[in-house]
Amino acid sequence: MEFEWFESKRLAVLNDRRLDFLDARRLFDGRPLYTAPSPRGTEQRWISIGEHEGELIAVIWTQRGTAIRIITMRRARNEEKRRYRALHG
């Protein structure tokens, strides 16, 4: 699977949130995810919630051709955690 992102955004998120887009790629390795549409303007975006190093993480992404373009990454919010746990326990 191919991934892409703006490197400046990756570095900003890494600095501000201590989360790395390089790790976000692991969420798409077949592990359980909660994924829902996250529309923004005319671009179809998705939010995927999954576990990384014992913590639930949210990755906002879009499909660009054959690549997954990571837009941002953050710790999951309480409602997102609830939805993930309702689906996956």
As for how many domains the chain has, the answer is 1
Per-residue pLDDT 10s for the chain (89 aa) are: 899 999 999 999 999 999 999 999 999 999 999 999 998 888 899 999 999 999 999 999 999 999 999 999 999 999 999 999 999 98
For 74, the enclosing helix (H) or strand (E) is strand 67-75
**Structural domain of 66:** 2-88
Count of H helices and E strands in the chain? 3, 5
Q: Distance of alpha carbon 11 from its chain centroid, rounded? A: 15
0.85 surpassed by pTM: yes
CATH code, domain carrying 62: 3.30.2310
